[in-house]
A and B are shown apart, each in its own frame.
Chain A
Amino acid sequence: DSGVTQTPKHLITATGQRVTLRCSPRSGDLSVYWYQQSLDQGLQFLIHYYNGEERAKGNILERFSAQQFPDLHSELNLSSLELGDSALYFCASSPRGEDTGELFFGEGSRLTVL
């Protein structure tokens, strides 16, 4: 158990819909990262938050947005869903002092868009 909690574990929805994925980082960790894992594109970095502020953005679509709240949990919002958005979405957190490079991953939220 990494200490990172993601909900829901599985989600099935239809094209055009909107979903929210939630992540609770390990206690004390200020950084939250979101990654998308799909079969054909490996693990893609989406976005990084540190103590509520956006620090880095990767190949995140405009239909996707994220935020980190004062209690440090984070949400990833995916809207106008397309079939190609079906993937495993991972959240990871890292210890205070973000230069360690070690990420602790949750078990992921598997999104299926039909």
Chain B
Amino acid sequence: GNSVTQMEGPVTLSEEAFLTINCTYTATGYPSLFWYVQYPGEGLQLLLKATKADDKGSNKGFEATYRKETTSFHLEKGSVQVSDSAVYFCALRASSASKIIFGSGTRLSIRP
């Protein structure tokens, strides 16, 4: 079945460090891929998305590229800030399905 695997956290970085959170997926066909972010005490919100191979989603300095050959959608940011501390979820929606499947989430903490 369809699934998403993302790196386990927590991840702790210093401010201005480079961030990578790995995400790989298993799906038939050509799924759409997403990164959602959950700030403390809030619901999830969409950070970025990509709907076809080689697409790059970007928002708020975060980027992720849809790599079909490696079935990956890694999240990157060049210089993190304390305000980026949150839980990040990789997700997919298979082309023939209505539901969105989420990974287990990666907690990110940024030290000043």
Q: With the chains together, A55 CA to B46 CA distance in Å?
A: 22
Q: Mark A77-107, 1 if CB is under 8 A from B, else 0.
A: 0000000000000101000001001111111
Q: Contacts A2-B43, A102-B46, A107-B43 given: A55-B98 contact, CB under 8 Å?
A: yes
* A56 and B32 within 8 A (CB): no
* A42 and B93 within 8 A (CB): no
Nearest-CB distance from A81 to chain B (Å)?
23
* B99 and A56 within 8 A (CB): yes
* B45 and A98 within 8 A (CB): no
Q: Contacts A45-B100, A50-B98, A55-B98 given: A106-B43 contact, CB under 8 Å?
A: yes
- Of B16-24, B74-82, B101-109, the one with at least 4 CB within 8 A of chain A: B101-109
B66 cross-chain contacts in A, Cβ below 8 A: none
A108 within 8 A of B: yes
On chain A, which size bracket covers the interface?
20 to 34
Query: For B41, B43, B102, B105, which residue has the most chain A Cβ atoms within 10 angstroms?
Result: B43
Nearest-CB distance from B44 to chain A (Å)?
5
B69 within 8 A of A: no
Q: Contacts A42-B104, A43-B105, A101-B49 given: A58-B99 contact, CB under 8 Å?
A: yes
Nearest-CB distance from B95 to chain A (Å)?
9
Q: Mark A24-52, 1 if CB is under 8 A from B, else 0.
A: 00000001010100000011010010100
Question: Could you list which residues of chain B lie within 8 angstroms of chain A, going by C-beta atoms?
Answer: 32, 34, 36, 41-46, 49, 51, 89, 93, 97-105
Question: Could you list which residues of chain A lie within 8 angstroms of chain B, going by C-beta atoms?
Answer: 2, 4, 31, 33, 35, 42-43, 45, 48, 50, 55-56, 58, 90, 92, 98, 101-108
